[in-house]
Amino acid sequence: MSLELASVRSVLSNVPSKNRIRELLVFDPRFQYGHRRGFEAWLRIRTLLVNRKYHAPIRPLATYWISPDDITLKMVGGTEFGKSSAGRVVGGDWNHNVERLREYDLYQMMKRHFVDGVPWEETERYQDLVAQVQSGESVWHYCTTETDIKERCRGLDELYRQIDEEGFLHPSDLESDTYDDPLFDHSANRFPVPLQAISVNIGPDGEAILDDGRHRVIVASLCGVSEIPITVLVRHARWQAKRDKSANGEIELDHFDSPDRRYYSSTPSKNPVEKR
């Protein structure tokens, strides 16, 4: 082997693999902090530009408190906009890429366990997940073994206990050193704290469509929690047109996303532990 080729191979051996690069980008606190600061600055600039087009202001970091039962739809897996889309107004037919939350297989599995008292291992979805990892697939937030799946289920048990006993916390409370999040997602640290809440998109008729946070929405609904904190990522162009008319006094919107500031609150209107 030539000296030059040996040198090249030595250099290449020190280049991180794709998985290692992803691990550094997702879990390294330095990257997370830098990404969050950069994203906040970029979001402020984009929001200023976007708000020049509309009479009803876009507040991408506003927190709204609504009933979990008001979220009846979710984006079909793989069609979600994601946190980086906060504050966008998008037309088209993306609102057709939805499914009913209560027909979602994860909802059915969690209802069977928490309401009907069926062990996780006896639910159909659990058995499907095990079959998938046994065939070499990565499922349900990077589970690759049945042990991973069981750990995820234990996290859901703890999340249910926390929400059932303590109610639903504001996103800022989740950063407390005393709070232990059983389903902590390291990748969420790349975004501002408000965006670490449950995120929805709003369809043309004002329907709240879940984009991120399905485990927490389902647990809150099954626990009977009265209100949960959410942020709005994407609004349909037709809905934003209605918000503009409301801002101009042409119509009145009785909706949490009305431009009338009395609908906006960073705190719940009820005790967060209160049940329906």
Token readout for 202 is 């709003």
Q: What is the pLDDT of residues 201-228, one digit of tens each?
A: 999 999 999 999 999 999 999 999 999 9
Is residue 31 very low, low, confident or very high in pLDDT (cuts 50, 70, 90)?
confident
Is residue 3 very low, low, confident or very high in pLDDT (cuts 50, 70, 90)?
very low
Residues 6+ apart with CB under 8 A from 47: 58, 59, 60, 87
Question: What mean pLDDT is predicted for residues 155-180?
Answer: 78
For residue 200, give the 3-state DSSP assignment: strand
Alpha-carbon span 265 to 206, nearest angstrom: 18
Global pTM? 0.84
Q: What is the pLDDT of residues 106-156, one digit of tens each?
A: 999 999 999 999 999 999 999 999 999 999 999 998 899 999 999 999 999
Q: What is the pLDDT of residues 247-259, one digit of tens each?
A: 999 999 989 999 8
What integer pLDDT is reported at residue 20 of this predicted model?
54
What integer pLDDT is reported at residue 1 of this predicted model?
47
What integer pLDDT is reported at residue 15 of this predicted model?
45
Please name the residue ranges forming H helices in 74-123.
Answer: 105-114
Q: Is 3 left (phi over 0), alpha (psi -120 to 50) or beta?
A: alpha
Q: Per mean pLDDT, which range of 9-23, 124-138, 168-182 is the poorest?
A: 9-23
Q: Would you tell me the crossing angle of helices 105-114 and 146-166 to the nearest 10 degrees?
A: 70
Amino acid at 145: T
Asked whether the beta carbons of 183 and 74 are under 8 A apart, the reply is no
Percent of the chain with pLDDT over 70: 78
Strand 64-66 to 198-202 pairing: unpaired
Alpha-carbon span 19 to 11, nearest angstrom: 18
Asked whether the beta carbons of 84 and 91 are under 8 A apart, the reply is no
What integer pLDDT is reported at residue 5 of this predicted model?
46
For residue 35, give the 3-state DSSP assignment: helix
Alpha-carbon span 266 to 259, nearest angstrom: 15
What integer pLDDT is reported at residue 26 of this predicted model?
57
- Per-residue pLDDT for 271 more than 90? no
Alpha-carbon span 2 to 181, nearest angstrom: 53
Amino acid at 19: N
Q: Per mean pLDDT, which range of 28-32, 114-118, 226-230, 272-276 is the poorest?
A: 272-276
Residues 6+ apart with CB under 8 A from 204: 95, 236, 237, 238, 239
- Per-residue pLDDT for 275 more than 70? no
Tell me, what DSSP letter sits at residue 195? G
What integer pLDDT is reported at residue 194 of this predicted model?
83
With residue 143 as reference, give the H or E element that holds it.
none
- Per-residue pLDDT for 233 more than 70? yes
Alpha-carbon span 234 to 240, nearest angstrom: 10
